[in-house]
Structure 1
Amino acid sequence: MDKINGYISAWAGANLSYAGRAELVKSVLQGVECFWLTILPIPAGVKAKIVQLCRNFLWSGSCNSHKTPLVSWKEATLSKEEGGLGIRDIKAWNKALISKTLWDIQAKKDTIWVQWVHQIYMRSTGFWEYKCKTGDSPLIKQIISLRDEIIVATHNKEEAVQLISQWTSNGKFHSKTTYDYFRPRRAKLAWTKMVWQSFIAPKHSIILWLGLKEKLLTKDKLQGVIEDMSCPLCRVEDETIDHLFFCCRIANEVCFWVYVEMTTIDTAMEQPKKITNVGGSKFQNSTSGFKRWGRRSPFIRYGVPMISLTVFGALGLGHLLQGSTQLKCAVKIFEGKSFV
């Protein structure tokens, strides 16, 4: 616990994006594949504390902050294809690591410790028939409990052996494959294909991910906290996720010139194939438009009410002007045009 806390705390002062924090959390949880987690079940209190540290750091940048998470930890631990961030579930990860010890015992691996276990606990019975006794160690009880869980899931011993055999190759145990078996699952979501693209910067992908989940703190979610609910770009309608990214007149003009036709979060989620077929570079340009979320501060601070070269730069779309005659013409047309 102290090591994990120290590792995360060392980065608490760094100005990391959500993507940077997510990667750091992943490295912490994946890095706990150490001797102790392989041979000891993690107490529930310790699991809860690890989750608390990682969750706080992910959403606030500090281990000690109790900022309300934008997305639940349960959702964050789903795979990216299922709508999560691919962060490992600590309970399933512990089971995956304990499974390595289970495999060693049932396979009678040639080690002193495995030989000792068979001599002390299983002298008169096999691993698959052994029943725990009151005085057995917590590790043995955990291994047998895990064995029984696998047998129930596969219906019999033979299929259980066949299952855990799939977790090894050439005599080497694969914790990643085992974790994939134990981790929580949900149905795969089509829209995730357009979020996690190799040509999209991770920090942009997470903003897009939060937007599609309608978790970004647009002004409509801050009623009672702030008075001005108007969109910082057009100053006409109230700011919502759909309005900011799709319905705002300034956003619509920008999206038109990069060949993206979407009107709401729902339509964006319903047609990922159509969007990705626009082409790699064009889709990259369109997703860069989501940087307007992070770049809307100048509009809030200075109240810029027109689309211009300055607006394109503030939206993070200035790079589009470098090689696009069409966009340059569009900007000249819109230069000085007020949308208020």
Structure 2
Amino acid sequence: MIDVLGFQEGFLPVRYLGVPLISSRLKIADCKPLIDKLDSRIAGWSHLNLSFAGRAQLIQSVLSTLHSYWASVFILPKGIIKILEAKLRKFLWQGATGRGQAKVAWDQDRKSIWVAWILRYRLHNDNLWTFNGSTGSWVGKN
């Protein structure tokens, strides 16, 4: 029938509108085009000297839409979501060149003098999420 009609025999996954058409569950290897596209977008901005706010805006308006589009078509594997978030986080804090480091040492955050002061005198050793704001300045109140 292929010879009679002149069609070419293909194989899955076929790409349609940028996403692969597969009949099974999406695997990490199937998401390689998404990761490659994200990497190429970030690499395209490497010559720009973007501020933190500029990188945050690009993540919100451009890079997260790639992820959202794929997530609207498929249920993405957890591994892919972790990879994408790590790449976005690295771009936000280090830029496209990958130089620099995060502005906060998350593992040492509780050791800072400012955090200790806020915990003791403003939150009264309470949790930020359960703080009712009845004590302290107008900033902590609703």
TM-score by length of 2: 0.44
Q: Whose relative contact order is higher, 1 or 2, with alpha carbons under 8 Å and at least 6 apart?
A: 2
Structure with the larger helix share: 1
TM-score by length of 1: 0.20
